[in-house]
Structure 1
Amino acid sequence: MTDLFAVQEKIRALTERLHYLNYQYYQNDVSEVPDQEFDRMLHELQGLEKQYPEYAQPNSPTQRVGGTITKQFPTQEHRYPMLSLSNTYSEADLREFDERVQRGLEGASYQYVCELKFDGVAMSLTYENGQLTRGVTRGDGTRGDVVTNNVRTIKSLPLHLRAADDQPADFEVRGEVFMPLSVFNDLNAEREQNGEPLLANPRNAASGTLKLQDSAMVAARRLRFYAYSFLSPRRDFPTHSAALEALKRWGLPVSDTWRLCGTIEEVLEFIHHWEKRRFELPVATDGIVIKIDDLRQQELLGYTAKSPRWAIAYKYPAEAARTRLNEISYQVGRTGAVTPVALLTPVPLAGTIVKRASVHNANQIAALDLRIGDMVFVEKGGEIIPKITGVDLLARPADAQPIVYPTTCPACGTPLVRPEGEAHYRCPNERGCAPQLKSKLEHYVSRKALNIDGLGAETVGRFFDLGLVRTAADLYDLPHRRDELVNLDRLGEKSVQRMFAGLEASKEVPFDRVLFGLGIRYVGETVAEKLAAHYRTIDAIVGASAEELAAVPEVGGVIAESVALWAQDGANRELVERLKAAGVQMALTGEAPQPLSDRLNGLSFVLSGVFEQHSREELEQIIERNGGKLSSSISKKLSYLVAGDKMGPAKREKATALNVPIIGETDLLAMVSDGGL
C-alpha cells in the first residue's frame, strides 16, 4: 500500500531542492550538481506529480518546462498603473529635469538611482506568501494580458522566494522580460536556415514569445527577467535602492549595473560610462533610467497625467556611421536563397569594427538605389545586426553604376529563380551547389539536430572540400575510411575515435530531431516534432499528400507543399533509405496512441478559431483517435466545420455557401461522448 504521506513529503523535498538549485545557478552562478543529476530529480518530480496531481504545487519547478496550452489571454487591471517615463536624448534636458527636482523638493538633499534601460517587455509580477501567483504585461498601462503560465517558464525567475522577515505577504515586482542576444542570434540563424523571415530585434522577439499559446515553446526561447521596482500597499522601504537590495536578497534577479548618484554630474558620468560598455552585456539596452531614490520624496514630486515627475529616461542616440560601399558579395544558404552582403571600408560602430552589413535582398538594393563606391550610412538594427539605412547622395561618384543583381548562382552558375511572392532569388541546384550541400551537412550535425560530437561545422566542411562526404548518409561511411582520416592534418587517432563515437551515439537521437536535421525547407524544430508525433515514421510522412500534411497541427499549406515536394525527390528517398540502413532513428519508439472509437469514421473536419475546453491540437487528436479525418480547406466534400471563438468570417461564409454544417466544440465532443476521451 502506498504511503501517501511519504509521497507528499518526497514531492515537497524535491520541489524545495530544485528551487534551491535554480537559485544557486541563476542568481549566484553556482552549479552544485551536474546537469544530469538535476534532470534526474526533475524527471522524478514530474513522474510523481503525474501520478499524484493532488500533491503538485502550483509553482513546482516542473512548470519551467512548459506544456500548458493557453487558448486566450484574459486581461486584468493593474493595481498600480504602469505609467510610461518621459524620455530625452539631451543632456541639457537632464539638467533641466534636475532643476525641476530641486525646486520641487525646495532645496532638500536627494539622491538618484541610475539603472540601465533594458530593451524588453515590461512585466508586473504578483507574489503572495512568497509564491509567484500572477504575471501581467504592461498592456495600455491600465490593463494588461495575464501570461502567468508563460512567465513561469523563465528559469531565472524564482517561483518561490527565499523567506525573509522584511518580505510582505502580498506585493508586486515590476521588471523587464528580455531575450538574451545569444538566444536571439541563434533563433534568427535557425529561421534563416529554414527560409523564414528574420525577427527584427530581441524586444519584438520577447514580446511575441510571451503571447505564444504553448508554454513549452516559450520555455524553449530561454527568456530572462530583471526586476527594477517593488510595489506594495504600504511603504515597506525608505528608498528605491533599499527595495532593490531586498528583491535581490529574496532571490529575484536584479541587474548589478545600477548605481546611487548624488549629483546630476554623477548621473552624466554614469551615462557616459555605459555608452560603449553596454554593448559588452548579454542583453540589448537603449538608455538609462534616472529615479529619485527616496520614496517619500517621490510622493512629494508626484505625477503628471502620463508620467512620474521623479523619474526620466535618457535614451542613447542610434549608433550610426558613414563609410564606403566597396562591393556586394552574394552568399548561398542551405535552402538556396542568395543573400547580398555589403562589404564596407571598416568603421567603428556600437563598440565593434563593422566591415559587412546586411542588404537583405534585391528589393532593398533597388529601394536604396545602392551603387558601388557610394558613401553609405550604417546602423545596427536593434544594436545587433549592422544594416545600410541610406546613401549620402552628395558624395556619390559621377560614374557610379547601379548594382545589377546576378542572374546565375555565384557558386555553381545555375540560373537563379525567384518564386512568386518571395523576396529572395534562389539557386535550384540543390544537388550540385557546393554551399547548399555543405550547409545541409553542417545543419545535420548541429546541436539542435543530431548534435554529433567530434563533427562540427568546420570539420564537415573540410570533409566536403576533400570529397569525403556529400550527404548526411556519407557521414556513416566514414568509419570505413579510418586509415585515411587519421593521416589528415589536425585530426589524429583520438579525434577520429571521438568522431566515430559521436556518429554511433547519433543513431539514438529521436526521430523528430532527425527529421529536423534533414533540412527540409520550412521544417523547423516545432514542425518536425508535430510531424513526427502525427505520422510516427518517415515512411508515413513520405507517403502523405500535401493536403494530408497540411492538416497536421502547426503545418500549413506552404510547409506541407515543401515537405511533399521533398518526399517526391528520388535522391531524398535514397538518402532516407541509406540513413535507415546506417541505423538512424526513422520512427518514434514506444506505443502509438490507440484508437478510442470509430464514431467519426468517414467524416472529415476543419477546425477554425480559439476553443474553450481544449486546444486545437487536442481536438484534432480527438477527431483522429475516433476515426475522423482532418482537412486543410473547406470544400463540398467536407463533413463539418468546427467553429471556435474569433473564427474568420470568410470560412463561415464559404461553409454556408457550400452547405457545410457548422458545429461548435461542444457538438464535436458530444459526437464522441460514448467513444470518449
Structure 2
Amino acid sequence: MLATQEWLEKTSEGPSGQPSLGEFLEKDVESLQAVLRFHEFRYYVENQALISDGQYDQLYKTLAAIEALHPQWVRADSPTQRVGSSLNQNFTTLPHLVPMLSLDNSYNADDLTDFDRKAREGAKGEILAYCVEPKFDGASISLVYENDQLVRALTRGDGVAGEEITQNIRQIRSIPLSAPFSSLGIEQIEIRGEIILSKQAFDAYNQKLIEKGESPLANPRNAAAGSLRMKDPKEVAERNLDGFFYHISHVQSTSGQLAFDTHAAALDLLWKMGFRSPQKEKKVFADIEGVIAFCAQYEAQRDDLPYEIDGMVVKVNQLALQDRLGMTSHHPRWAIAFKFKARQATTVLRQV
C-alpha cells in the first residue's frame, strides 16, 4: 500500500502536473481511499493536520478522477461519496434498535448525593465507580453500522423512532462512513451521540450569512438541529458540523459477548474505531465527592471550551451494574445529568 508521501509524489507526476489515470489499478484506489480516510480522522477527529489543505485536495481530486474513470471501483465509504448529488425528498420515520430514553436531571450537589445513595442501594454492596463526561449541547442522533458500513442515521424523535437522516450525516467528516467493528466480531452496532457546531464554526457560518445579507443563526444548538433536516446535503456540508459519540446502545456479535465491560472502555473503543468520543474528557471516580468536584471544575471553565456544553453526565461505569439498576419508563437509573446554572445576562430597557 502506498503511503501518503508516495501518493503525493505520484499524484504530481505527468504532463500539466497530473498523473496518468490509466496506470492505476483497483488496489491503488483502495490504498488512496485509505490514505484519505486516515487524514480525515487525524484532521476532523484528532484536530491534527499532517498534510496541508492543498495536499489533501490534490489526493482527493486524483481519487475522484480515477473513480470517474472506473465507477466500478467506487466504495460506499470512499471519501468522495460523502456529498450526495440528490436532494432529500422526505424524511422517513424508522424505529431505533433500542429506545433513546431521556436522562434524569440534577442541579446541585445534594441531587448528586441522592443519586449516589440510590445507586449504591441498587448495587447491594458491590463496589461501583462513576464515569463523568461533558453533556454536549446539540442534537441527539443514533447511528447503525452493519458489516462495518454506516447504514442508517436517525434523529432522536420521540425516543422510540426517529427521522432517517443518513445522507445528511454522511456530510459530517468526523463521522466515519465505515469502521472496523468486524475485527471484534461485531456484525451490527447502534451508537448514540450528539451533533454539534463548534463555537468557531458557528461564528464563521454566521459571518457568511451576514455578508450575504441574511439573518444569523440564533445559537449553535439550534443551528445543529436545523441542519439535520435540511433538504440539500451540500448545504449541510457547508456548516462544518461535528459529532461526539458517547454510548453504545446495541451490539450484535458473532460471539454473543461484548468487547468491553465498562462505559469508559466503550468510549475508548469508539475512539479506537475512529469516532470522536469524550474519551479524553472523561474521568472515572470511586466516590461521589470526586464527581461533584469534577462537575464544578468543568462548569467554571465552560466558556473556555471550543464547543457548548450545558452540564455533565454521570454514569455508573460497570455495565453489569447498569443492567442491575435498570430503567424507568423515562430514564436509566444508572445515569444522571448535572445541569449547569443558566448564564446570567442583563437586559437594558431603552424605551417604554
Q: TM-score range by the shorter chain?
A: 0.7 to 0.9
CA apart distance, 1:124: 0.7
What is the CA–CA distance in structure 2 between the aligned matches of 1:281 and 1:162, rounded to whole Å?
31
Counterparts of residues 26-425 of structure 1 (less than 5 Å): 26-162=44-180, 165-166=183-184, 168-231=186-249, 232-233=251-252, 234-236=256-258, 237-255=260-278, 256-320=280-344, 377-378=345-346, 388=347, 403=351
What is the CA–CA distance in structure 2 between the aligned matches of 1:68 and 1:22, rounded to whole Å?
24
Matched with 2:6 is: none
What is the CA–CA distance in structure 1 between the aligned matches of 2:81 and 2:224, rounded to whole Å?
19
For the 8 Å contact 1:178–1:225, the answer to whether it is kept is: yes
For the 8 Å contact 2:141–2:156, the answer to whether it is kept is: yes
One-letter identity of the residue aligned with 1:99 = R
Aligned alpha-carbon RMSD (Å) = 2.3
User: Match for 2:36 among 18, 21, 29?
Assistant: 18
Please give the per-residue CA displacement for 1:106-142, whole angstroms capped at 9, x wherever unaligned: 1221001111000011111112232222211111101
What is the CA–CA distance in structure 1 between the aligned matches of 2:330 and 2:181, rounded to whole Å?
36
Q: Structure 2 vs 1, CA of residues 67 and 181 (structure 1 numbering), >3 Å: closer, same or farther?
A: farther
For the 8 Å contact 1:77–1:142, the answer to whether it is kept is: yes
What is the CA–CA distance in structure 1 between the aligned matches of 2:98 and 2:108, rounded to whole Å?
30
What is the CA–CA distance in structure 2 between the aligned matches of 1:159 and 1:90, rounded to whole Å?
40
Please give the per-residue CA displacement for 1:560-609, whole angstroms capped at 9, x wherever unaligned: xxxxxxxxxxxxxxxxxxxxxxxxxxxxxxxxxxxxxxxxxxxxxxxxxx
Which of structures 1 and 2 has the larger relative contact order (alpha carbons within 8 angstroms, sep 6+)? 2
DSSP 3-state at the match of 1:216:
helix
One-letter identity of the residue aligned with 2:228 = L
For the 8 Å contact 2:246–2:267, the answer to whether it is kept is: yes
What is the CA–CA distance in structure 1 between the aligned matches of 2:66 and 2:322, rounded to whole Å?
49
Q: Tell me the number of residue pairs that the alignment of Structure 1 and Structure 2 aligns.
A: 327
CA apart distance, 1:194: 3.6
What is the CA–CA distance in structure 1 between the aligned matches of 2:110 and 2:336, rounded to whole Å?
13
What is the CA–CA distance in structure 2 between the aligned matches of 1:34 and 1:139, rounded to whole Å?
39
One-letter identity of the residue aligned with 2:220 = P
Matched with 1:439 is: none
For the 8 Å contact 1:181–1:284, the answer to whether it is kept is: yes
One-letter identity of the residue aligned with 1:285 = I
For the 8 Å contact 1:68–1:216, the answer to whether it is kept is: no
One-letter identity of the residue aligned with 2:299 = E
Moved more, 49-58 or 292-301: 49-58
Q: Structure 2 vs 1, CA of residues 3 and 183 (structure 1 numbering), >3 Å: closer, same or farther?
A: closer
What is the CA–CA distance in structure 2 between the aligned matches of 1:286 and 1:155, rounded to whole Å?
24
CA apart distance, 1:47: 2.2
Matched with 1:664 is: none
What is the CA–CA distance in structure 2 between the aligned matches of 1:167 and 1:34, rounded to whole Å?
36
What is the CA–CA distance in structure 2 between the aligned matches of 1:220 and 1:132, rounded to whole Å?
21
What is the CA–CA distance in structure 2 between the aligned matches of 1:145 and 1:272, rounded to whole Å?
36
Q: Percent of aligned positions with the same letter in both sequences?
A: 36
Please give the per-residue CA displacement for 1:137-160, whole angstroms capped at 9, x wherever unaligned: 111101111111111111111222
What is the CA–CA distance in structure 1 between the aligned matches of 2:316 and 2:288, rounded to whole Å?
11
CA apart distance, 1:6: 5.0
For the 8 Å contact 1:292–1:310, the answer to whether it is kept is: yes
Q: Structure 2 vs 1, CA of residues 172 and 163 (structure 1 numbering), >3 Å: closer, same or farther?
A: closer
Unaligned runs of 5+ in 1: 321-376, 379-387, 392-401, 405-677
Q: Structure 2 vs 1, CA of residues 108 and 121 (structure 1 numbering), >3 Å: closer, same or farther?
A: same
Q: Structure 2 vs 1, CA of residues 4 and 167 (structure 1 numbering), >3 Å: closer, same or farther?
A: farther
TM-score (ref. length: structure 2): 0.86
Please give the per-residue CA displacement for 1:294-313, whole angstroms capped at 9, x wherever unaligned: 11100111111111111110
CA apart distance, 1:65: 4.0
What is the CA–CA distance in structure 1 between the aligned matches of 2:50 and 2:180, rounded to whole Å?
18
For the 8 Å contact 1:127–1:134, the answer to whether it is kept is: yes
What is the CA–CA distance in structure 1 between the aligned matches of 2:305 and 2:80, rounded to whole Å?
29
For the 8 Å contact 1:124–1:136, the answer to whether it is kept is: yes
Please give the per-residue CA displacement for 1:153-194, whole angstroms capped at 9, x wherever unaligned: 111112222567435121111111101111111222333344
What is the CA–CA distance in structure 2 between the aligned matches of 1:67 and 1:6, rounded to whole Å?
26
What is the CA–CA distance in structure 2 between the aligned matches of 1:261 and 1:145, rounded to whole Å?
36
Rg larger for: 1
What is the CA–CA distance in structure 2 between the aligned matches of 1:196 and 1:41, rounded to whole Å?
35
What is the CA–CA distance in structure 1 between the aligned matches of 2:42 and 2:202, rounded to whole Å?
25
CA apart distance, 1:227: 1.1
DSSP 3-state at the match of 2:230:
coil
What is the CA–CA distance in structure 1 between the aligned matches of 2:128 and 2:150, rounded to whole Å?
34
CA apart distance, 1:235: 4.8
What is the CA–CA distance in structure 2 between the aligned matches of 1:313 and 1:163, rounded to whole Å?
29
One-letter identity of the residue aligned with 1:250 = M
DSSP 3-state at the match of 2:82:
helix
Matched with 1:501 is: none
What is the CA–CA distance in structure 1 between the aligned matches of 2:238 and 2:211, rounded to whole Å?
18
Please give the per-residue CA displacement for 1:66-96, whole angstroms capped at 9, x wherever unaligned: 4442111112100111111111213211111
Q: Structure 2 vs 1, CA of residues 163 and 82 (structure 1 numbering), >3 Å: closer, same or farther?
A: closer
For the 8 Å contact 1:199–1:205, the answer to whether it is kept is: yes
